Structure 1
Amino acid sequence: MAQAAKRPYIPELDLVRAFGILAVIMIHATSSVVASYDHQAALYPLYVFLNTAAKFAVPVFVFLSGFVLFYNYYDKPFTAGTIGQFYKKRMSKILMPFLLFSIFYFAYTRFMQFGFVDVQTFIGYFTTTKFLNMLLSGKTYTHLYFVIIIIQFYAISPLLLYAVKKFPFLGKHIIWIGMLVQWLFVYKLAGEWGVKSPGSYCFTYMLYFTAGAFIGIYYMKLAPWINLAKHAANPRKIAAAIGMWLLFLASSMLLFYFHYENRLYKTAVINTDLLEIIDEVRCITAGILLLQVSFWAYAAWNKAVVRALIHIGATSFGIYLVHPFILNLYRNTSSVGDPILYHAWVVGGFLAALLIPWAIVSLSAPIKWHWLLFGPLPTRKKKTSASVQPGIEA
């Protein structure tokens, strides 16, 4: 049986990653302001809007993971060798950085909380069941839960691939299946059965993963509807794009309204179950629209800007791992009382959380063992398939 031809390389995916990591940093850079800044201040609604608007980031990275995995592997033969290669390639580039940064952040938080007494006491922190539980759930620092989610998706992806290849009709309905799994988990298991920390389980994000998987499976057919920069747009495609933007903007504004009113008056103006559905609409449309924007940006934006964004996207996993530490150090500096200087301080936090990790990760690329900390980093790429791209596939 002839081996299926490799699908075309998609450099625009690194732009999606870049927009995603910028959204992640926006969330974290504005979170403390949203929590502690004067709620009656004139610019407070702007901070709530920026924080809320960027919260599509994690679902979009999950969406992108589903897209990349199914785009790269759907046409490949499903053999023991392929599965072994999948696990070796995916797990090897994420497990070691996760383990090392989990140890680093746990050590950092212990030091900040208790100081350093002696080596024996400090090592003792790592021999407790508390550390083991926090490690396995990705809770040694606030952002590491996301890596656990991606590891879970990597673990079940071969089973999903086998199912849609064995029963092709499942591929056409994979979004609805993912939505059903997510709803059963969120509303039934987590809601009624009291599953602790449902956000630490991949099933909470199954709709986004399967939506990306659907586009990955049928990308060659869907490309004319997604890559409007390359394919001629007809009235139907334009209407579909406008409809997608309207859904995204409407859902985003409803979420902003809910969170702003909740911050000001501690009231829920929208039923939380309905809010979950609104957020799902926002995140799905965000994933599709970021693909469209990335294709447009790659074709039409200034080339230097595009190259910079592609590099940010390709190093996004390392930036993701490092940026909370830089932001924490930055927040230990004094925020001045003058409003103008305070807003400048907030902007400085965003820039520091982006540029310093980007520099650290970029400078480590020539070092042979950089993958232990940051996974694979940008090298001279051969235009073969999407799978050669580093960065967060999440």
Structure 2
Amino acid sequence: MRNNHRRVSLDEIQLARAFAIIAVLVVHATSSGVTTIPRDSLLFPVYNFLNIAGKLGTPTFIMLSSFVLFYNYYPRVTNWMLMKKFYIKRLKFILVPYIIFSSIYFVIKWYIYYDYPSLSFALNKFLTLLALGKAHPHLYFVFISVQLYILFPLLLITFKKLPFLRKNAIWIGILMQWIWVILNKNYFHITLKGSISLSYLSFYFVGAYLGIYYFEIREKMRNRSYKDRIMVPILIGYGAMVIGYTGFMYLVRVKAYDEVAVLLPHIVTSYLYEFTWANNALLAGLVLFYLAHAANKRFSSHTKALFMEIGATSFGIYLIHPLFLMMFRGFLSTGSPLLYHSWQLLTFIFIGLLSCIVVRFTFRYIPHYWVIFGKLPEQQKLSVRR
């Protein structure tokens, strides 16, 4: 299938990225609360809900990355020159910032937490963590993205050659991901499965499907009855999975899950975490994608401009915000309940604000800014520099 629509930049993607990065900030800002406040506190369920329900940001970024790749590259003739340019861009704008920030986080944690016996030991440790996307917990997203970029030419050619695959990509991606989950649990026993692309195949394939059929889907969604047939089940399913996922994690965190687990079949308890996480994240990504399109129509010009800037700088915000989180966590760890909870809210606001300011300052004033934070979309780059 060839789509003759010109591939223009979609504002909806930047809005979806803005929503996703806000969710990431919510998760990281509440991580202290869910680990330090008493489990019988009235606010613990609130922290738990925000911390777990917010874990849609990174999977949504993965789905959006797949969408953008297939949206831009599927209609084009696939040849060596196209793939060469593709890899050069990703090496420059993704891999280089990943290596730089991996180095930054490794050195900071080395200085604060660790005492490695020698420089060679530290270097070997760093290279191992770099190869696994583990120099800091949030960097696994970039590591997963690099795996997608490596696989992308093969996926692109396969989708082009196999109509059955591209037309049924959603359920095939979900099936393949679950085959991997079951095989890993019973045979491979790989503990770092969260850093392996096979754990995100449903997000890759759903993004690919949306990217290939974007204009057809958008046209069909103009029909109210079609939109209701698609979005009502997705919204209901997402609501159910949010309740299921946050409820499951609440029981685990208050150490009540074992009492419930004995009442459930073994197959349910074996895969309940994976089932609630995967379905919540996938449906959340679809809901955010839809909300971004709704917001593009309904936001005022000023509100849209704000979220477009957040979306355009989201990769840089993602990379740097844990640095500010470390700093804010060092200022206040105890105090009265009112002071403590207020500080958690201020932490969320300030790490987002400072990250955005630093990223935008870098884009505006520092030559070769892409080495640090990747490439800013051209239209956003121009608007920032006016």
Determine if the TM-score, normalized by the shorter chain, exceeds 0.5.
Answer: yes
Q: Which amino acid aligns with 1:242?
A: V
Structure-2 residue corresponding to 1:355: 353
Mark the runs of 5 or more structure 2 residues left unpaired by the alignment: 262-268
Answer 1 or 2: which has greater helix percent. 2
State the AA in 2 paired with 1:244. I
Contact 2:220-2:226 at 8 Å conserved across structures: no
- TM-score, normalization: structure 2? 0.90
Task: Judge which range, 178-187 or 55-64, deviates more.
Answer: 178-187
Deviation, 1:123, is: 4.8
| Equivalence for 1:251 | 241
List structure 1 segments (4+ residues) > 6 angstroms apart after TM superposition.
none
Give the count of matched residue pairs. 372
Amino acid corresponding to residue 51 of structure 1 in structure 2: N
Tell me, in whole angstroms, the C-alpha distance in 2 between the residues paired with 1:317 and 1:32. 23
SS of the equivalent of 1:38 reads coil
Aligned residue identity for 1:256? T
Distance 2:128 2:94 in 1: 19
Aligned counterpart, 2:264: none
Provide the C-alpha distance between the structure 2 equivalents of 1:172 and 1:124, rounded to a whole number of angstroms: 51
Any gaps of 5 or more consecutive residues in structure 1?
Answer: 384-394
TM-score by length of 1: 0.89
Amino acid at match of 1:58: T
- Specify whether residues 243 and 292 from structure 1 end up closer, same or farther in structure 2 by C-alpha distance, changes over 3 A only: same
The aligned residue for residue 331 of structure 2 is 333
- The amino acid of 2:7's aligned partner reads R
Paired letter, 1:44: F
Q: Distance in 2 between matches of 1:381 and 1:257?
A: 40
Instruction: Please show how residues 23-34 of structure 1 align to structure 2 within 5 Å.
Output: 23-34=23-34
Q: Which residue of 1 aligns with 2:40?
A: 40
Contact 2:52–2:246, Cα closer than 8 Å, also in 1: yes
CA 67–380 in structure 1, closer or farther in 2 if over 3 Å, else same? closer
Give CA-to-partner distance per residue, 1:230-260, whole Å, 9 cap, x none.
x3x4234224322211110111001111111
Cα 1:291–1:218 shift into 2, 3 Å: same
Q: CA shift at 1:4, angstroms? A: 5.3
Tell me how far 1:179 sits from its aligned partner. 2.1
The equivalent residue for 1:177 is 172
Q: Which residue of 2 aligns with 1:89?
A: 89
| Partner Cα distance (2:82, 2:140) in 1 | 28
CA 141–191 in structure 1, closer or farther in 2 if over 3 Å, else same: farther
State the shift of 1:9 in Å. 2.6
Does 2:213 match 1:215? no
User: Which whole-Å deviations, capped at 9, do the CAs of 1:168-215 have from their partners, x for residues lacking one?
Assistant: 222112223322331222221354321130111111011111111111
More divergent stretch after superposition (86-95 vs 352-361): 86-95
Change beyond 3 A, Cα 1:28–1:225:
farther
Q: CA RMSD in A?
A: 2.2
1:196-211 aligned at under 5 Å gives the runs: 196-211=191-206
| Fraction of identical pairs, as percent | 35
The answer as to 2:5 corresponding to 1:10 is no
Counterpart CA distance in 1 for 2:292 and 2:24 is: 17
Letter in 2 for 1:13: I
